[in-house]
Structure 1
Amino acid sequence: MAKADIEVQQPMHMHPEDFEEEDPEEVLDESADPLEESGHTVDSSDDEIDESVAEDMARFEESFVGIGKRYRLINRIGEGTFSTVYKAEDLEYNNYDNRWDVDERERRKWSSPSGRKRGSRRPHYVAIKKIYVTSSPIRIFNELELLRDLKNGDSVCPLITAFRHQDQVVAILPYYHHHDFRDYYRDMTISEMRLYMKSLFTALRAVHQNKILHRDVKPTNFLYNPQHSRGVLVDFGLAEREGTDWHKCVCTESLEERRYQVAHSVYMQNQQAGHQTTSYPKNDTRNSRRANRAGTRGFRAPEVLLKCTQQNTSIDMWSAGVILLTLLTRRFPFFHSADDIDALLEITTIFGRKKMRETAFLHGQVFETNVPSYSEHGHTLEKIILWCTGRTSSDKGAPKKELSDEEKEAVAFLYRLLECDSAKRITADEALHHPFITKSYEENEADQDMVDLVAA
């Protein structure tokens, strides 16, 4: 691991007990709009940079004294709600142990001894994440600690080191060559989707095995290289350990206990009193429900929107399902809600009012809507995909179009991800053993056999 100090900066020494507790109000960290954020994420190297970006980098080097002695800033490659990320050359790469460098390990594995010696003089790049000073110290500490714990996780971005100068904190991370999601998501074949999702679930399995929720799984946080069929999960700014600030939720109770609580709820008492519509008590003495709703609009799971107080790693699997739905429908972002209510209604459009009522009751909530366009049973994912890809026709005499066999396999897998009941949702480890994903191994073996045949 690289040494964490330079002339002015000191190594990060932060302890959670040194910080005050956060305001005990409901937690909601809203990442940027996914489409807007994607526009701020580039994979640029030495291309000509905008004047505004050059000025931004100059201000950063001026404010963070000494950073220019260790790193040569090249370009700004990411800009989000909580941080800015720069690509930089590590000027002292050869002075440290760099076991984190996956690309260098791969290069050395296949190069000759003389090539390895020549390669040591080649430039090596890192990503410098400048965390905004508006972030609370405890959150910064949490992100760095989780990255440290995940340093050996497959397809997870490790922390190389971190620096602090006055109130400014930067994290030094590996730089990964990747493509902008918008450049390839419309053209991916089902086989390519298998490889993409396999890489994503490999990362999520490593994270979830450590009982960590990423909380912000989305395309801009999964840096994918289609040429290598390899991606890496980044940005743990909203991540947390499972069980953090948990409060008992009825979704963990037995079916009998949930039925009992529903039967004795204020809602049911109003129904039994003859109220035809949902009403609320004038003087409600119950405490308001607090729950972590951090994440990005359009990627939050139903239990997050319904303020479940015992959220677990399954929320990341729902977000992964939204990515697969995006790939299959060729629509990004697929969900584009303004707030949590809109988000619930968007999900209702697909799954129907009946499913959303059941899901809400699961978490001790009541879901009601009188919007006539929302049907009781919703629509199948097959129909949604056909609509979005322009394979439906208003001509009743036209032949009925259907999904291909490969698409049907993908949809069957998608239903396991977009399961409204989090207890029934597939896990990352189960996903990697699902036939839809395991078929990628068979396809890779077939491709390798063909390469061997041509070589012979």
Structure 2
Amino acid sequence: MEEPMSFSPLSGCDASPADDSLKKYEQNVELSGIKKDIEKLCEAVPQLVNLFKIKDKIGEGTFSSVYLATAQLQVGHEEKIALKHLIPTSHPIRIAAELQCLTVAGGQDNVMGVKYCFRKNDHVVIAMPYLEHESFVDILNSLSFQEVREYMFNLFIALKRIHQFGIVHRDVKPSNFLYNRRLKKYALVDFGLAQGTHDTKIELLKFVQYEAQQEGCSRNKYHGVTGHKGSLSRPAPKNLDQQCAAKTSVKRSYANTQIHIKQGKDGKEGSVGLSVQRSVFGERNFNVHSSISHESPAEKLIKQSKSVDIISRKLATKKTAISMKAMTSVVRKTTSSCPAVQTCDCYGTDKVCSTCMSRRQQVAPRAGTPGFRAPEVLTKCPNQTTAIDMWSAGVIFLSLLSGRYPFYKASDDLTALAQIMTIRGSRETIQAAKAFGKSILCSKEVPAQDLRKLCERLRGMNPDTPRLAADPPGYTSPENTVYKASYHVQTSPTQHLKDSAHKGEGDGCGSPRDCSTCLEGWDAVPDEAYDLLDKLLDLNPASRITAEAALLHPFFKDVRS
């Protein structure tokens, strides 16, 4: 569930009667829409009417809507309940898996539990305890350092809990970790995208994983024959796919910089479809196939294989003595006619060659919210673990320490990867990618940033330099970085977030100097904070800190749950 957009209220002196009328009209339209949604929900699941009074619609996401309701438990006593209405198109196994995550792992250690579940035909409503909470963007720059420490400690308690059950949340972000500042209560919510580890204790997540793998295998098995009529007696030989894809690569051309992700030892990267002489940065999703029609070498070979099958059947009717071994040799001889060595000729140009277009799509989990996806998710590594949740927690911690939210904002996966490089370094990113079977090429070397200097600069706590006046020391200028082709990438994340702050969209109260920021503890942030941040933003998932280890980090030595 995404956080609602916030707008700065008009001051009394600037507001005209026309503005007030327009504002009232918009409010009435919004209330009317909410009322209709509530009525539709009651019609779809009529048993809710007898148990709850639905008061308001408090959230809406891609896969669900959330309503605030009250339940009459005793005479004169009402309990607030959050009703999550899942969209009817959700897969039954996915819904059941989310429920099992809530019932098995939820209800304690800052993980949301479940009270009831209602179903009517294909409509499912999950009733959960309601936790009144603040918007992260509204309180970001008013939190004391101790509050930040407690916030992260409680987040790791929740992550440790679900990771012990083999649950990978896959969408950890502030709007999915509810925080009641007054009561100091926390709740990790929304397991709609969760997956299981290889040893998960949530049985239904095993089915979800199996379904995803089967879908991926099916997609890969018949990729390249879509749109061709007729049935195939057998798929193209496996070794052919490996030959035709062995020396191909995905390309993106930037003005002065190229990031190039190609096949690693453990996986094949996806195809990117782009027309000739077209700007390729941030215009199309990294994982989407092209709609341009190209006949790939694999498709040509499949046609050849079909002709071989027909000839073989004709020969079999005349000469029954032909052995299966001989037929196999004929097929192998034909398939070997496909050029084994096909080199790409589009690297560094504003086009994608037919060799790159012929590659099969890499099927890998890619859930989550842009800006919080780990490097192994952005590069479509098929083997993803609970470490992706820890990376997302690291991005939250980075926002808390820097006072900027969202910290990363990218239109596509390659832009997001480029932004990570400007903070963690291009050389370090390339080296880490090799560990999980991906190869990344970057035409410009971008140095890693000092996390303390970066956060202090953004928060305006460094007395030696003007506040928010320039990029952090050692920060590579935009002209020498990968940020060249669109608005989101023309400047560094630092400058982008400065612009956001000036427009009132970077945090809930504008720049840090415009609100009553609580400076308690911020004048002496310990080194342990940045050491933990560095371990959370470890580019290699295998060595990234776990939730259990994070709770034992020296940064939390004085914190009690």
Normalising by the residue count of structure 2, what TM-score does the alignment of the two structures yield? 0.57
Q: Kindly indicate whether the alpha-carbon contact (under 8 Å) linking 1:78 and 1:84 is maintained by their aligned counterparts in 2.
A: yes
Indicate whether 1:64 and 2:45 are aligned: yes
SS in 2 for 1:347: helix
Name the CA distance, whole Å, in 1 between partners of 2:168 and 2:108. 14
Q: 2:168 aligns with which of 204, 213, 216?
A: 213
Q: 1:307 aligns with which of 365, 380, 387?
A: 380
The CA deviation at 1:438 is 2.6
Helix, strand or coil for the counterpart of 2:355? coil
Gaps of 5+ in 1: 1-30, 40-47, 95-119, 248-260, 445-456
Match of 1:54 among 35, 41, 47: 35
The aligned residue for residue 296 of structure 1 is 369
Is 1:164–2:119 an aligned residue pair? Answer: yes
For 1:141, which of 96, 100, 104 is the aligned residue? 96
From the superposition, tell whether residues 380 and 85 of structure 1 become closer, same or farther in structure 2 (CA, over 3 Å). Answer: same
Q: CA distance change for structure 1 residues 152 and 231 in 2, over 3 Å: closer, same or farther?
A: closer
Match 2:455 to one of 385, 388, 391: 385
SS of residue matched to 2:110: coil
2:57 matched to 1:76?
Answer: yes
Q: 1:59 is paired with a residue of what secondary structure?
A: helix
Q: Distance in 1 between matches of 2:423 and 2:137?
A: 24
1:242 aligns with 2:197: yes
- CA drift of 1:205 comes to 0.8
Which runs of 5 or more structure 2 residues have no equivalent in the other structure? Answer: 8-27, 199-208, 214-263, 270-339, 474-521
Alpha-carbon distance in 1 for matches of 2:468, 2:68: 53
Taking the aligned partners of 1:64 and 1:405, their CA distance within structure 2 comes to 54
**Structure 1: distance between partners of 2:117 and 2:31:** 27
CA distances 1:99-136 after superposition (whole Å, capped 9, x unpaired): xxxxxxxxxxxxxxxxxxxxx74211111000112322
Name 1:406's counterpart in structure 2: 525
Matched residue, 1:424: 543
SS across alignment from 1:439: coil
- 1:342-380 deviation digits (Å, cap 9, x = unpaired): 11011011012101111222222221233x5xx432212
CA spacing shift, 1:283–1:426, aligned 2, 3 Å:
closer
Which residue in 1 is equivalent to 2:414?
Answer: 341
Cα deviations by residue, 1:313-368 (Å, 9 ceiling, x for unpaired): 11111111111111111111111111111110110110121011112222222212
Equivalences, count: 354
CA displacement at 1:404 relative to structure 2: 4.2
Q: Distance in 2 between matches of 1:80 and 1:186?
A: 26
CA distance in 2, matches of 1:193, 1:323: 10
Higher mean C-alpha deviation, range 347-356 or range 136-145: 136-145
Q: Which amino acid aligns with 1:435?
A: P
How far is the alpha carbon of 1:287 from its aligned partner? 4.8
Query: Kindly, what percent of the aligned residue pairs are identical?
Result: 37
CA spacing shift, 1:35–1:303, aligned 2, 3 Å: farther
CA distance in 1, matches of 2:89, 2:192: 13
Contact 1:84 1:129 in 2 (8 A): yes
Structure 2 residue identity aligned to 1:313: T
Output the amino acid matched with 1:172: A
- Check the 8 A contact 1:213/1:316 in 2, yes or no: yes
1:352 aligns with 2:422: no
Residues 405 and 218 of structure 1: is their aligned pair in 2 closer, same or farther, counting only changes over 3 Å? same
1:147 is matched by which residue type in structure 2?
A: L
Question: Residues 204, 286 of structure 1: CA spacing in aligned structure 2 closer, same or farther, 3 A cutoff?
Answer: same
Residue equivalent to 2:552? 433
TM-score, normalised relative to structure 1: 0.69
**Distance change >3 Å, CA 65–CA 323, structure 1 → 2:** same
Residue by residue over 1:136-189, the C-alpha shift from the partner in whole angstroms, topping out at 9 and shown as x without a partner, is: 222212211221221344111112121111221111111112111122111112
For 1:86 and 1:186, locate their aligned partners in 2 and report how far apart those are by CA, in whole Å: 28
Rounded to whole Å, the distance in 2 between the matches of 1:393 and 1:179 is 31
Tell me how far apart the structure 2 counterparts of residues 337 and 236 of structure 1 sit (CA, whole Å): 24
Alignment partner of 2:50: what SS?
Answer: helix
- Aligned with 1:325: secondary structure? helix
CA contact (8 A) 1:147 1:158 kept: yes
In 2: Cα distance, 1:226 partner to 1:200 partner:
14
List per-residue Cα deviations over 1:376-424 (Å, max 9, x = no partner). 322121222133223443999xxx9xx8432533212111111111111
1:236-259 per-position Cα deviation (integer Å, ceiling 9, x unaligned): 000111133598xxxxxxxxxxxx
- Shift of the 280–55 alpha-carbon distance from structure 1 to 2, 3 Å rule, reads closer
Over 3 Å counting, the alpha-carbon distance change for 1:364 and 1:285 in structure 2 is farther
**C-alpha separation in 1, matches of 2:556 and 2:129:** 27
Task: Verify the 8 A CA contact 1:353 1:376 in the aligned structure 2.
Answer: yes
Partner Cα separation in structure 2 for residue 394 and residue 168 of structure 1: 52
In 2, the alpha carbon distance for the partners of 1:332 and 1:196 equals 16
